[in-house]
Amino acid sequence: MERHTHVRRDTTSNQCNTGAVKCCNSVANASDIASVLNMLSYSYDPADSVGIDCTPFNIYGVGEAASCQQQPVCCSNDTEKGFINFGCSPMNFN
């Protein structure tokens, strides 16, 4: 079985210099969902935040991607076409 790896990049809550802004259905600590990540053969940092079921978020408020029902996040590593995203931190647009 192939093992998936990711590179952790630090981000701050008000910027997204290292990744893409996403709208995720949920965000969890990797350690809290370790059994799922292990089952899917992902290597991860237990302190990492993981976004689950994410779609691109348009910060300019245009089109379908302008609406985010959950917390917008900045994720440094997108895998499985948005289903699993590593290195996610909350975005603040205030």
pLDDT in tens, 29-79: 999 999 999 998 888 899 999 999 888 876 665 555 556 777 788 888 877
Within 32-92, residue ranges assigned H as helices are 34-39
**Residue of higher predicted confidence among 92 and 33:** 33
Q: For residues 27 and 54, what is the distance between their CA atoms, to the nearest angstrom?
A: 9
Structural domain boundaries, residue 61: 20-90
Measured CA angle at 32 (ends 27, 35), to 5 deg: 115
Rounded average pLDDT over 11-23: 64
Question: Is residue 91 within 8 Å of 13, Cβ to Cβ?
Answer: yes
pTM above 0.75, yes or no: no
Q: For residues 77 and 25, what is the distance between their CA atoms, to the nearest angstrom?
A: 16
39 located within any domain = yes
**Residue of higher predicted confidence among 93 and 48:** 48
8 located within any domain = no
Number of domains in the chain: 1
**Residue of higher predicted confidence among 47 and 1:** 47
